[in-house]
Structure formats: structure tokens, C-alpha cells
Amino acid sequence: MSEELHYKSASELSELLGKKELSAVELMKATIARTKAVEDKVAAFNSYDEADALKQAEASDARRAAGEALGPLDGIPVGIKDNLAVNGQPLTCSSKMLEKFVSPYDATCIEKLKTEGAVLWGRLNLDEFAMGSSTENSAFKTTSNPWNLECIPGGSSGGSAAATAAGQAAMTLGSDTGGSIRQPASHCGVVGVKPTYGRVSRYGLAAFASSLDQIGPVTRNVKDAALLLQAISGHDERDSTSYRISEPNFLASMEKQRGRKWTLGLPKEYFANAASTPAMEPVLKAIEFYRSLGCEVKEVSLPHTDYAVATYYIIATAEASSNLARYDGIRYTHRAEKFDTKDSVDIYCQSRAEGFGEEVKRRVILGTYVLSSGYYDAYYLKAQKVRTLIRQDFEKAFEEVDALLTPTSPTPAFKKGEKSSDPLSMYLSDIYTISANLAGIPGMSLPCGYSDGLPVGLQILGKPFQEDEMLSIANEFEAAHGFKDQHPSL
């Protein structure tokens, strides 16, 4: 088996499988071997089930032998963020609360991957309940950035990004509420796509903030992202917020638009502090590249950018405080062994005190506060109105341009422990990514260079339900640069 198998892209692997130069079992064995070889360093997985993965791979080989291969992902190992429900597998959300929880059902995206024949591989670490930007908020382990093990991989989909970067899975699924796919993808030098809100069913994704959450792909190249997005997209009756719109063939549409002269916008508010933003240089070079292609690049304004973080933290924590109320020590979660039986609510209070980590407590209490009596109008309702203004900013910008180019994150991956004592500064590092969630538009991060040896991501924000254009723009850059073939030395 080639040493490099674990770094081949899913599309390449798919071709090898199709030509029967590789079997799904061989691929899965190589993936398991790679995972084990580097997991001590990377710590991307909360758990994995080798026997189950090999069984899936065998089934894939049997299908292919019978001439019944299901699709391009048949036999491809896909890592799953540990907040997506897979029937019969743990679903911990990296929380003590769900440490022993085994899901009795499949998320819609998981069902779809099964229909495509993908091999579901492992449960990837995250910030507890997807709350965080570093994966340090996991109750179980701290995942390392494969490019520098002393650094965080980003978050909350840190396990997904790290595993993809480290070759522990051909591709992975993450979820993005305020940048949780794009920011870790940027920090780990991989491609991460947050689809338009409503493009991918949220059914089976443990909700953090329902009006902001989207599931999306984390891959080693743009083509793979298109493939995985294709597999999981589509209207779903079980998610009332999933959008009834047909999806294009992302890959074909992306190829077809090759060479198009795009009009690209640079939100001036995102570049105001360019000089003091360490990760900015590769981004500026990437912008130059698009100019050199003959794309029109122009400044646009998103005047309410400065209010996005505040708006986001009110809406996200309010929704979270309600979404996480179900983790209460009653039906399926951790229940405190000792609690005051004379106080009828202490079973909740104690179970939640033990089951939730610090960041989750902080956000749940903040969300409870902003919704509590007398504060609703000042915080939640106000934030919903500002959300409208932010959405309108984007609508206006997209009247002039096809997509926006921005940095994904103000800094490359930082050192573990560096920001964990100051939640507000951690929140402020989401500045470039959260607006897309508030506006419900698609966004992605694409490796565009390095800063101090750490990967830097270019963020592309697209028009609602036009992921194909966004991917196509990314594809131009990727095709002309070698970043997708750069891998961390582990």
C-alpha cells in the first residue's frame, strides 16, 4: 500500500476504487493504520469502531463486485463530528452529559451518506456542544493542530479539520454555527464549507443554535467538498427549516464555470485592520491572484459588521439555553448520583452542574439571562432586528458582486491555553465568520498560504443557494496553487 494513500483525495480514491485498483477494505485498513499512527499526537477522535468500519467497507466491496456501486463516495471513509446522530454509535457532543449516550437513530445526512455507500468512520472531537473556537472545550481531550501540535486546531469542528489534515479520514463532516467549520479548516490547512442555511437538513445534528447551525464538509480539496456537499444536500421533510430548492450538480456546475470573470467584493470593514492582522498577507496575495485572472475586485461595505459578534452571541446563546435544556438528568443523560431530594429541581441543577463544562455553563446562563423576564426586548428582539440589518448588508453587497473575499480568521492557530481565560477575546476571533451564519449565506475557507508555518485560510462568501459559484471561485485558486498537496509532517 502506498505510503501516501491516506493523503489522496476522496476523488482520487474513488477513481482507484472504481478501477478496482484499490478495495474499500484496503482503504479502510490504511485509514485505520494511519489513524492509529498519529492519533497519539493529534487526538482528533472521541471514538472509532474498527470492526463496524471494516464491515461497511466489505459491504462496499461486495456491491462493487456485483456491479452495484452506489456513487462516487462508495467505500470512502468519512469521519463524523461527534454531534451527529449515527444509529448504534455514541453521540457525545464531547460532553460528560452524553458520555454514555448511544444514538438510536440516524441523522438525515448520515442516512444520505449510507445511501451513497460511504464508510462512516469515527466520532470526531469538538468543543462541547460545538461551543468554542479551539476544541479545548471538549470534556474528553484536547485535539492538536497537525501542523503544530502545541497549537489548537480551531473549533468547534477541530476534530474534523485535524483528522482531515492528518489523513485520518478521506473527508469529514463538521457543523458550523458561527464559523465552526471554516475556522478550524483555515487553521488546519483544509477546505471547509458552510452551506446556505437550509441546504443541508439539520435533523440529527445536536442543536446548538437552531437558526444558525449548518452541517458541511471538511475536505482536502475543493472537488471533494463539492462531492460531499452533493451527498448531504437536499430538502428534508424532517427539518422544517430545510429549504425546498433543487440542488445543482455542484461538481459539474463548478467545472462548467471555470474561467468565468467573477466580480469579487472586499468588505472594507473586514480589511480595516489589515496591517495588524497577522494572517492577512496570504489573503491579500490570493486577492491579487483573482485580479490577475481578470476578475473585477472591488471594495464593498457591510456597515453593520461591528455589531455582528454582539448579535451572534445574543441569538446563539439564547437558542442554546433552550436547546440544551433537554440535557437534564432525566431521560438519557448523565444523572447526578447525589442531589437534594427535598428540592424538586436539584436533580436538574446538580446533573447539569456535573454534566456541562465551563463554556457551556457560561453560554447557557448568558442565553437564559438575555431571554429572562424584562430583558427580551433589549437583547433578543434587538439582536433579531440587527440580524435583519446584517442580512440586508449582504443582500446589498451581492447586488454588486458575485462573492466576497475575506480572511477566515484574524490569526492563524494560536497556542493551546492562550485564550481560554478570556471568553470575550475568544468570541471576538469569530468576527469574520459569524456574519454568514446570521445572514444564512454560504461560506467556505480555502488554504491560501502560511503565516509562521501555520496555514491561513481565505474565506469566500457566496450568494444564498449558490454554493456552486463559491466552489468554482475556490477551484480557480486551488488549481493554480499547490496548497492542497501540502501536508503537515507528523
Partner 1 sequence: MSEEKHIDIDYTAKLARINLTDAEKEKLSSQLDSIIGYVEKLEELDTSGVEPTAHPHPVYNVWQEDVVASELSIEEALKNAPAQRDNMIVVPKVVD
Partner 2 sequence: MEYEAVIGLEVHVQIKAESKIFSRVRAGYGHEPNKLVDPVVMGLPGALPVMNKAALDGIIKAGLALNCTIPETCKWDRKNYFYPDSPNNYQITQYDQPICDGGYVEIELPGDTRAVMGEHKKIALTRIHLENDVGKLNHFAEDSLVDYNRAFTSLMEIVSEPDMHSGEEAFAFLTAIRQTMIYCGISDCDMEKGQMRADANISVRPVGQKELGQKIELKNLNSITGVKNGIEYEIKRQTRELKKGNPITQATWRWNANLGQTEMMREKEDAHDYRYFPDPDLMPVKIDEDWKSRLFAEIPELPWNKQRRFMEEYELPYSITSVLVPDRLLSEWFEAAAKQAPKLAQSVGNLVANDLLRELSEAGQALVDCKITPDTLLGLVKVVEKGTIPKNVANKDVFPEMFKTGETAEEVIERKGLKADFDEGQVKVWCQEAIDENPKPVQNYKDGNEKALNALLGPVMKKSRGKANPQVVNKLIRELLS
Residues labelled catalytic: 81, 156, 180
Residues numbered 169 to 208 that lie near partner 1 (CB under 8 A) are 196-198
Q: How far is the CB of 98 from partner 1 (least distance, A)?
A: 9
CB of 185 closer than 8 Å to CB of 191: yes
- Name which position in 20, 261, 385, 396 contacts partner 1 (CB under 8 A): 385
Distance between CA atoms of 454 and 456, rounded to whole angstroms?
7
Distance between CA atoms of 253 and 276, rounded to whole angstroms?
38
Residues numbered 78 to 107 that lie near partner 2 (CB under 8 A) are 83-85, 91, 93, 98, 101, 103-105, 107
Residues numbered 427 to 486 that lie near partner 1 (CB under 8 A) are 427, 438-441, 464
Residues numbered 214 to 243 that lie near partner 1 (CB under 8 A) are 237, 240-241, 243
- In the bound state with partner 2, the residue whose beta carbon lies nearer, of 358 and 376, is 376
Backbone angles phi and psi of 440, in degrees to 5: 75, 15
C-alpha cell at 478: 486551488
203 binds partner 2 (CB under 8 A): yes
Distance between CA atoms of 121 and 433, rounded to whole angstroms?
28
- Name which position in 62, 372, 376, 395 contacts partner 1 (CB under 8 A): 372
Residues numbered 219 to 238 that lie near partner 2 (CB under 8 A) are 237-238
Contacted entry of partner 2, partner 1, none for residue 142, CB cut-off 5 to 8 Å set by kind:
none
293 binds partner 1 (CB under 8 A): no
- Name which position in 111, 328, 393, 478 contacts partner 1 (CB under 8 A): 328
Contacted entry of partner 1, partner 2, none for residue 37, CB cut-off 5 to 8 Å set by kind:
none
CA 234, chain centre distance (Å): 18
Size, binding site for partner 1 by CB under 8 A:
74
Residues numbered 330 to 349 that lie near partner 2 (CB under 8 A) are 330-332, 345, 348
Residues numbered 42 to 101 that lie near partner 1 (CB under 8 A) are 100-101
- Name which position in 122, 204, 265, 443 contacts partner 2 (CB under 8 A): 204
- Name which position in 142, 211, 263, 301 contacts partner 1 (CB under 8 A): 211
C-alpha cell at 270: 473586514
Contacted entry of partner 2, partner 1, none for residue 463, CB cut-off 5 to 8 Å set by kind:
none
205 binds partner 2 (CB under 8 A): yes
- Name which position in 182, 387, 416, 419 contacts partner 1 (CB under 8 A): 387
244 binds partner 2 (CB under 8 A): no
For the chain, report the end-to-end CA distance as a whole number of angstroms: 19
Contacted entry of partner 1, partner 2, none for residue 439, CB cut-off 5 to 8 Å set by kind:
partner 1
318 binds partner 2 (CB under 8 A): yes
Q: How far is the CB of 313 from partner 1 (least distance, A)?
A: 6
- Name which position in 223, 352, 416, 419 contacts partner 1 (CB under 8 A): 352
Task: Report the 3 state secondary structure along the chain.
Answer: CCHHHHHCCHHHHHHHHHCCCCCHHHHHHHHHHHHHHHHHHHCCEEECCHHHHHHHHHHHHHHHHCCCCCCCCCCCEEEEECCECCCCCECCCCCHHHCCCECCCCCHHHHHHHHHCCEEEEEECCCHHHCCCCCCCCCCCCCCECCECCECCCCCCHHHHHHHHCCCCCEEEEEECCCCCHHHHHHHCCEEEECCCCCECCCCECCCCCCCCEEEEEECCHHHHHHHHHHHECCCCCCCCCCCCCCCCHHHHHHHCCCCCCEEEEEHHHCCCHHHCCCHHHHHHHHHHHHHCCCEEEEECCCCHHHHHHHHHHHHHHHHHHHHHHCCCCCCCCCCCCCCCCCCCHHHHHHHHHHCCHHHHHHHHHHHHHHCCCCCHHHHHHHHHHHHHHHHHHHHHHHHCCEEEEECCCCCCCECCCCCCCHHHHHHCCCCCHHHHHHCCCEEEEEEEEECCEEEEEEEEECCCCHHHHHHHHHHHHHHCCHHHCCCCC
- Name which position in 1, 62, 274, 378 contacts partner 1 (CB under 8 A): 378
371 binds partner 2 (CB under 8 A): yes
Q: Residue type for 226, please? A: A
- In the bound state with partner 2, the residue whose beta carbon lies nearer, of 59 and 347, is 347
Residues numbered 9 to 48 that lie near partner 1 (CB under 8 A) are none
Stretch that binds partner 2, among 72-80, 226-234, 302-310, 370-378 (CB under 8 A): 370-378
- Name which position in 17, 207, 231, 471 contacts partner 2 (CB under 8 A): 207
- In the bound state with partner 2, the residue whose beta carbon lies nearer, of 197 and 398, is 197
378 binds partner 2 (CB under 8 A): no
The three-point CA angle 12-484-187 to 5° equals 130
381 binds partner 1 (CB under 8 A): yes
What are the residues binding partner 2 (CB under 8 A)? Answer: 83-85, 91, 93, 98, 101, 103-105, 107, 202-207, 209-211, 237-241, 318-319, 321-322, 325-328, 330-332, 345, 348, 368, 371-373, 376, 380
